Structure 1
């Protein structure tokens, strides 16, 4: 009986498969790389294959001053990464993942491997997350990858709150952090920016054994002039007082300067190099209308100049744009008066020439403030309307809590409401809030 010969391993194989087998078995290899920064590891390869795939290797082995040594030092690439690099060179296939992508991107730049560079960029573009975007941005700037840098910055701007709270933030340089927080496109409130700067500074201090080296003064030392990129004057007076003024990140003189700027008072101290301290960031926002009542309204609500008053709280930082007051139900009737918004300590805004007129098939009219007013979560605010005029519609069975997307508004009674408006009935059909747009 005739024995059947096994086909040669070269038979019916693709060119890259046979090349890869030759490399794995170290057949006819004619160059040895000493790879790694620590204990060097010998990795063998074929000059012909390398030169045919990489312009850098071609110059190294075939240029006017070719490398004649049989060993080549590669101290800046670790052995496992160099093997991934060789696999791509020989087969144009390697497993790119979060652990090796930045190192392979570096290899692609070093050896002029455009297709590997494109593969790394594709992986990074499709696998950006709040946890890794800071690290990737740092490397993109380091490697002069402009497209990837812009992609990271766009992602970071749109997901700013999660990015600024991520562990990856502590790994970036001061220059990269500055690039992030100076952007007008950063979609986040300024307190989050301030807290991110503090977390970054604490991370820079964590190598110190002395607790004093992680104090607020030490944090300011790490931040230096970076703190001037925080737009403190876009915070509300209350937010700055409760979160920044009580700490020693800013000096006493800087705190006074910020308080005066928030209050709109020109300061004699002009030497602090705050960057765009009052400039609002270009938030992507949306208007949310919160209605207190259902679709059924009643007639005969009377006005004689007594105040209609209601308290409310919100769950997230936002701005109140205005409210809707019930309208007259008889033609040619007009409702006139004033309205104000207060907190425990002061009047935040007021409208002195309110006019709500009768309109066919319309139960209420909108009253907008001259400027939206910052509203802080878990703080009680009071809306007061002092109106005179015709009888109007009114609402009943009012809701204690109303949820609209991420915003929750809770209403409560105020003892100063002597015209019967309460949590359950009366005036203030709806409230309009400006909130950060969800992604």
Structure 2
């Protein structure tokens, strides 16, 4: 080992740099601000330190360098600019929420990534439904993909609360378009429609227009109206809206929407027909009529399904088939539903217990299909296997259950997203059968 030298952590340079923050005595560049009171404020800085920004470096030392020692700033206040300068001088930066838009703008203007990243973290820590639109708008404006995805996830998880927020009601039409084009909104389309009507009424009130005039509402929405996924509504729900908002829909629009609600394959020329969620229907209709009865393990009362997705997605609902009991009676039973991720390399036995994601106890009617909706979507990671387990209550474990549905081993749910079903490796279980019939995903 070399004993002729040591490495010593020297904090003096940082201390010296911090001492220079806003120091007029040593400054060689001043940023000038003209206030409404006709007062001129100057903020001191140092060219060599600011050259950490490629924009400042070109400004002070590039071929077209400015020879003056004064730069006028018109897109930030003195306090906002001082806050921005912290990133050049201080090891610990304090950001104020109210200054975030201006700071993010300065970070973009002067190409300071650490500044934009800090503003993103500040947004994540402080955003609520009441200011979510501001964060989303900034993310889009400054191409902050991380913050954009964060806002979209929060909006999608809490759409009912979001569409009632003042932040949404006051948002600009361009931002509303981004919101309506989200395919991940976890709600009935009626929630989206109600939100749009409230937004249009708010816009009318702000402009002094009659908010109960249907033509005014349509005028405010413009072509955003066609981003509402009316095809995701039931015919009854739409008819109720048509009665309540008489005059909102033209005759052609009315016919198109009725056709959409009745026929999933109908494609109108104007309305957005893309579903906000995807359904994996694994029932093979061609083989089911001749399939042999599938009986799951009556001794343990457990049925397994193992699946994977080639893309990361969100699981929101599952559906399982009706039970056919071998005593030909209808039983009102309770089933425990579990969803878990299978850690790579583990076996489905009692020696290794997979990490549980969700467990729910539900009452089912064995004479009809049962839909289970999760309170929060389950993240399904690409190419990872997940197991869904149905455990029948002990009182009925001695009664063998069966269904006659044959299932597909792979299902394309759209846009190249493939759901594949795997052999669970459990006795009496086969990937071509099982109680699970549908998986509902959110894009």
Q: TM > 0.5 between the two?
A: yes
Distance 1:153 1:357, change over 3 A: closer
Distance 1:435 1:361, change over 3 A: closer
Partner of 1:296: none
Partner of 1:240: 238
3-state DSSP of counterpart to 2:277: coil
Distance in 2 between residues matched to 1:265 and 1:60, nearest whole Å: 59
Distance 1:242 1:220, change over 3 A: same
Partner of 1:188: 187
Partner of 2:396: none
Conservation of the 8 A alpha-carbon contact between 1:190 and 1:231: yes
How is 1:106-125 mapped onto 2 (pairs within 5 angstroms)? 106-125=105-124
Partner of 2:277: 282
User: Does residue 1:433 correspond to 2:433, yes or no?
Assistant: no
Structure 1: tracts of 5 or more residues without a match: 1-11, 286-355, 365-389, 400-404, 412-426
Conservation of the 8 A alpha-carbon contact between 2:256 and 2:268: no
Conservation of the 8 A alpha-carbon contact between 2:20 and 2:89: no
Q: Deviations over 1:13-69 (max 9, x none)?
A: 844444444444522333332236745651331333443432222222222233233
3-state DSSP of counterpart to 1:76: coil
- TM-fit CA distance, 1:206: 3.2
Partner of 1:173: 172
Conservation of the 8 A alpha-carbon contact between 1:208 and 1:214: no
Distance 1:31 1:217, change over 3 A: same
Distance 1:152 1:432, change over 3 A: same
Conservation of the 8 A alpha-carbon contact between 1:61 and 1:67: yes
Distance in 1 between residues matched to 2:26 and 2:223, nearest whole Å: 59
Distance 1:432 1:49, change over 3 A: same
Q: Deviations over 1:362-398 (max 9, x none)?
A: 9x9xxxxxxxxxxxxxxxxxxxxxxxxx9855669x9
3-state DSSP of counterpart to 2:41: strand
Distance 1:143 1:20, change over 3 A: same
Distance 1:260 1:159, change over 3 A: same
TM-score normalised by L of structure 1:
0.59
Q: CA RMSD in A?
A: 4.7
Distance in 2 between residues matched to 1:360 and 1:134, nearest whole Å: 51
Conservation of the 8 A alpha-carbon contact between 1:135 and 1:171: no
Q: Deviations over 1:125-149 (max 9, x none)?
A: 4555433332222112211223432
3-state DSSP of counterpart to 1:100: helix
Conservation of the 8 A alpha-carbon contact between 2:21 and 2:86: no
Partner of 2:43: 44
Distance 1:94 1:159, change over 3 A: same
Distance in 2 between residues matched to 1:266 and 1:429, nearest whole Å: 30
Distance in 1 between residues matched to 2:262 and 2:165, nearest whole Å: 33
Instruction: State the structure with more CA Rg.
Output: 1
Q: Deviations over 1:265-315 (max 9, x none)?
A: 999xx9751121xx4321699xxxxxxxxxxxxxxxxxxxxxxxxxxxxxx
Distance 1:46 1:98, change over 3 A: closer
How is 1:328-367 mapped onto 2 (pairs within 5 angstroms)? none
Distance in 1 between residues matched to 2:250 and 2:78, nearest whole Å: 50
Aligned residues: 323
Distance 1:410 1:252, change over 3 A: farther
TM-score normalised by L of structure 2:
0.58
Distance 1:22 1:391, change over 3 A: closer
Partner of 1:257: 256
Distance 1:163 1:266, change over 3 A: closer
Distance in 1 between residues matched to 2:249 and 2:363, nearest whole Å: 35
